[in-house]
């Protein structure tokens, strides 16, 4: 598999993590170097690991997991998205209480945005492609685009403020719906 092919796959896989990074920054999170690093690192790490896990699982597990992966991503993204919308809609609530760059929320988002990478790993196993090189490229591109998206999100927050929390929640739900519809249809 050539670099150009891997690069295009990596860009496609990185879009969900980039969108979540943009949302996190525009909602007021990821405003310090540690939070930026955590988001970019975890999204890049999970995008690196999931193709490897998928590759090792191979075709024997695809039939058992493929009916469920999109539902997992949809539920995780919708859960966080709905909570952000509720928080952004109520002036009495300070902001979404769960920092998406920390703890279980970060892990849930990392898994939800990298489930497609698991399927890519399974596909690469079928093609008998060595998984390490593509996984490294996917992880690096995801981490890089996440950092760029955080910077863009910070600029958006300065302009739109708390309304971005509502929009961000809606975007997370839409990403979940996109993943769900791609697998159902």
pLDDT in tens, 31-68: 789 999 999 999 999 999 999 998 988 766 655 666 77
- Alpha carbon distance 93, 95 (integer Å): 6
Reported as a single tens digit per residue, the pLDDT across 110-129 is 998 898 888 788 878 877 88
Amino acid 169: pLDDT: 77
Greatest alpha-carbon pair distance for the chain in Å reads 55
- Alpha carbon distance 64, 62 (integer Å): 5
Phi/psi for 30 (5° steps) reads 60, 40
Domain limits for position 99: 3-26+33-184
- Alpha carbon distance 34, 21 (integer Å): 14
**Half-sphere exposure in the Cβ direction for 159 (13 Å, CA):** 5
Instruction: Write down the residue that tokens 């596909």 correspond to.
Output: 123
- The model scores a pTM over 0.85: no
Number of domains in the chain: 1
As given in the structure block, the two tokens for residue 104 are 């279980």
Amino acid 140: pLDDT: 98
Q: For residue 161, give the nearest of 100, 104, 103, 91 by alpha carbon.
A: 91
- Alpha carbon distance 60, 126 (integer Å): 11
DSSP 14-66: HHHHHHHHHHHHHTT---SHHHHHHHHHHHHHHHHHHHHHHHHHHHHHHHHHT
């Amino acid at each position: 598999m050539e670099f150009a092919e891997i690069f295009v796959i990596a860009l496609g896989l990185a879009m969900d993590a980039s969108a979540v990074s943009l949302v996190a920054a525009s909602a007021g999170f990821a405003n310090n170097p540690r939070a930026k690093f955590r988001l970019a690192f975890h999204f890049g790490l999970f995008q690196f690991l999931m193709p490897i896990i998928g590759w090792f699982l191979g075709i024997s597990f695809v039939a058992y997991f493929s009916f469920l992966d999109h539902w997992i991503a949809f539920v995780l993204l919708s859960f966080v998205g709905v909570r952000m919308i509720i928080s952004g809609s109520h002036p009495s609530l300070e902001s979404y209480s769960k920092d998406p760059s920390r703890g279980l929320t970060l892990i849930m988002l990392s898994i939800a945005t990298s489930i497609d990478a698991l399927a890519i790993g399974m596909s690469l196993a079928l093609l008998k492609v060595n998984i390490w090189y593509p996984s490294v490229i996917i992880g690096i591109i995801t981490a890089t685009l996440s950092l760029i998206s955080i910077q863009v999100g910070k600029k958006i927050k300065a302009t739109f403020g708390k309304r971005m929390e509502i929009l961000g929640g809606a975007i997370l739900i839409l990403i979940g719906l996109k993943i769900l519809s791609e697998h159902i249809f």
